[in-house]
Structure 1
Amino acid sequence: MSRQTISTITDKVVEGMVEWQNRPLDPVYPVIFIDAIHVKIRDGKVANRPIYVALAVTCEGRRDILGLWAGEGGEGAKYWLHVLTELKNRGVADVRMVVCDGLTGLPESITAVWPAAITQTCVVHLLRNSFRYAGRQHWDAIARALKPVYTAPTEAAARERFAEFAETWGSRYPAIVRLWDKTWAEFVPFLAFDTEIRRVICSTNAIERQRPHPPRCEGPRSLPERAGRAQVRLHGDHEPGPHRLRPETLDDAVETRAERVRDRLRRPPGRRTQVVPLQPELHRSFDRPRAWPPDTSSSPSTRVTPLV
């Protein structure tokens, strides 16, 4: 598909996209999840670009994608400050809790926009960051040792479990202990809620589930215009807006089944050809008269047949 064709298609939806991106928002949201989804975008060359996503839970309990912003380079707290300020200018006066990935400087950006908001660090991101300071052979053991910390019934119990973790692993991996101590204030807020609510607000998985499925659908895209870069398809309704996350549809199952059928029809990677002798009685020569019965004393001819 040519760049001109892509530009023609995207121009038809840019007006509606801009209108949706600038629509007024509710004055209050109980929870807002913010995270960046990195996708490959082709603009002269293929490069990873962050798509900043803000997803909120409304007072009616529905999920609403507040906006998408295409960034440059890596994810940064300074750009998040721009995003959050734009949300406030669109009418979001107050937020009860903002769930983020713990990016350096991001809690300060949240407080600058909504001083009364609680910042909750994603537990999944915190665990991933912990593994960066540990050897791969110890990842499973560290994950098991940290599980009692984030599943503790209270903040006091979590602190006790973390003290036990520090006693066991602190001498080998002191950087992990320092990481949790540094982010403890943003880690513990979700422990004040019931278990059902904890599962919702403890991570940014709500945004991760918006990624295209399966992940291989995210091929490089020829989007020459800046306005088109934010038009990355998200899993869910075709038109962005308030919606409940739905289970996989029948169409998704059919598409998956079709992929499996195509896989079966592909030529096996190890398939080769083998030269095998042709049966003498089936050999036919066109350069001399055909004799019957055939002369079996001559060497048999050969043909190439595929080896299944």
Structure 2
Amino acid sequence: MIELTKVQLQSSLNKLLEHERGLTTVLEMTLNSLMYSERKNYLENCELNKGNGYRKAFAVGMGKQIELRIPRDRLGMFQPMVLALIRDQKQQLEDLSFELYGNGLTTSQIGSLMGKIYGKYYSKSAISNITATFYEQMQQWRERPLDSNYLAVYIDAIHLKIRRETVSSEAFYILLGVKEDYTREVLGIINIPCESASGWSDVLKSIKQRGVEKIGIIISDNLTALDTVIPLVFKNSAHQKCVVHLKRNILNKVASKHKTEIATDLEEVFNLNLMNDTVTKAFDRLDSFAQKWRKNYKHIGNLPFNPMNELYFTYTNYHPQIRRMIYTTNWIERLNKEFKRTFKIRNSMPNFEAALTLLSKVAMDKEEGYFGYPIYNFKFDEKLNKLV
């Protein structure tokens, strides 16, 4: 056996490194030698076991594919530590890719960044293969079992540009629930291209199939047909329509000279601090408001003639301590702002599955953050707590 001096060995390595795959070859030789030595030491301490050849495998090292000869033993008990290190590197790569994707980067941008970190550009397809696991994890999260009871569920929409045959804006509806321990979680993220009674029925039935039995109150915008579907799926659930959206819609259609006065009147109509308030009393205030402005604005004058507008006053049935939390969907709009911030750096999503995956990642991050802190105001309302 020829023994090389340190200088001779260094010279041989330098010549090898001059070749295009030189560094990769050295890495392969080093890892394979380490595994061979590791098995040798292992067998020396295990007299009943023997070597059993090698198996070929491929891995990524320093941004390039490397070929490994993994030594085996007859009893199948030997596991080289080198493989664990390689798996750790792969897991780190996947975790980093997930995190970057979850922050809105495209597969091309992730591939370029990986090149700067690991020394080799990763193609779109390579990153897509990695993020495929991410897709599966997010789908499992969206289909996870849910609690049986929720004090409140907020429903609101975010509109995103989705590429199908052409790029168009589509609605994704977010369902945010308040649990019995007063923390929050996202129950569902659903893509409904066109609102309908059947669409909302499918949404509510889907969370019911995942375990939800009772919801104290559902808070939403004035969504098409939702008010007729809720009693059919969750018959004991109250429904509160978003007052903030109603005010906004009213004020958007009035002259500038009247806006301040009308806004003040609306504050009185939707007074949240009246201890003995009822839906009937509140609707009477709405009627008086409509009579005052009927001559100027038809859309205000017509408000009392729609009996479903009573759903804007459901909050009056609850303790004043929680009215401000249930008369609007603003709680979920904070989450929607996080969604918009993430999607801001992307012109459009390649498909609705990609959008769902990215929305799911942002929602999961929020659950691990401030959604995990209890909102104790809900404990003041005995009616809501008893219902669930």
TM-score by length of structure 2 reads: 0.56
The aligned runs of 1:1-308 (5 Å cut-off) are 1-2=107-108, 4=125, 7-43=128-164, 45-72=166-193, 74-131=194-251, 133-151=253-271, 153=274, 154-155=277-278, 156-182=280-306, 183-213=308-338, 215=340, 217-219=342-344, 220=346, 223-233=349-359, 238-239=364-365, 241=367, 244-245=370-371
AA paired with 1:112? L
Q: Which amino acid in structure 2 is aligned with residue 185 of structure 1?
A: E
- Once the two structures are superposed, residues 206-225 of structure 1 have per-residue CA deviations (whole angstroms, 9 ceiling, x without a partner) of 11110244945423355435
- Match of 2:357, SS state, is coil
SS of the aligned residue for 2:173 comes to strand
Aligned to 2:121: none
Checking the alignment, whether the CA contact within 8 Å between 1:63 and 1:243 is kept in structure 2 is no
Instruction: Give me the whole-angstrom Cα distance separating, in 1, the residues matched to 2:190 and 2:352.
Output: 11
> Against the structure 1 CA distance between its residues 246 and 28, is the aligned structure 2 distance closer, same or farther, given a 3 Å change threshold?
closer
Q: Secondary structure at the match of 1:228?
A: helix
Q: Which residue number in structure 2 is paired with residue 269 of structure 1?
A: none
Letter in 2 for 1:106: L
| C-alpha separation in 2, matches of 1:97 and 1:198 | 12
What secondary structure is seen at the aligned counterpart in 1 of 2:335?
coil
Change (3 A) 1:221 1:76: farther
Determine if contact 1:210/1:235 at 8 Å carries over to the other structure: no
CA distance in 2, matches of 1:201, 1:32: 9
Cα offsets for 1:250-272 (capped at 9, x unmatched): xxxxxxxxxxxxxxxxxxxxxxx
Counterpart Cα distance in 2 of 1:18 and 1:231:
7
Q: Structure 1 regions of 5+ residues with no counterpart?
A: 248-308
Distance 1:84 1:137, change over 3 A: farther
| C-alpha distance in structure 2 between counterparts of 1:69 and 1:9, whole Å | 24
Q: For 2:356, what is the secondary structure of its paired residue? A: coil
Give the distance between the partners of 1:38 and 1:6, measured in 2 at CA: 26
Deviations 1:195-241 (A, max 9, x none): 22001111111111102449454233554354222123479665464
Separation (CA, whole Å) in 1 of partners of 2:364 and 2:209: 26
Q: 1:246 deviation in Å?
A: 8.1
Change (3 A) 1:177 1:238: same
TM-score by length of 1: 0.70
Greater CA deviation, 97-106 or 41-50?
Answer: 41-50
CA deviations over 1:15-68 (Å, ceiling 9, x no partner): 111111111111111111111111223456432111111100001101110111
Alignment identity in percent? 31
Moved more, 30-39 or 225-234: 225-234
Query: Structure 1 residues 160 and 226, CA, compared in 2 at 3 Å: closer, same or farther?
Result: closer
* Maintained 8 Å contact 2:290/2:302: no
1:167-187 Cα deviation digits (max 9, x unpaired): 320222232232354233211
Contact 2:283/2:310 (<8 A) preserved: no
Deviations along 1:111-154, one digit per CA (max 9) or x if unpaired, are 11111111111101221232354345533332221110111511
Q: Which amino acid in 1 is paired with 2:229?
A: S
Question: Partners in 2 of 1:88 and 1:246 — Cα distance?
Answer: 23
The CA distance in 2 between the partners of 1:40 and 1:11, in whole Å, is: 21
User: How many angstroms apart in 2 are the aligned matches of 1:24 and 1:209?
Assistant: 25
Higher helix share: 2
Q: Secondary structure at the match of 1:209?
A: helix
The amino acid across from 2:293 in the alignment is W
Q: Does structure 2 conserve the Cα–Cα contact (< 8 Å) formed by 1:236 and 1:246?
A: no
Taking the aligned partners of 2:350 and 2:362, their CA distance within structure 1 comes to 25
Letter aligned with residue 357 of structure 2: Q
CA distance in 2, matches of 1:237, 1:98: 19
Deviation at 1:96? Answer: 1.3
Contact 1:99 1:201 in 2 (8 A): yes
Q: How far did 1:83 drift?
A: 0.9
Q: In the alignment, what sits opposite 1:263?
A: none
Gaps of 5+ in 2: 1-106, 109-123, 374-388
Structure-2 separation of matches of 1:107 and 1:199: 21
Which one is further off, 152-161 or 90-99? 152-161
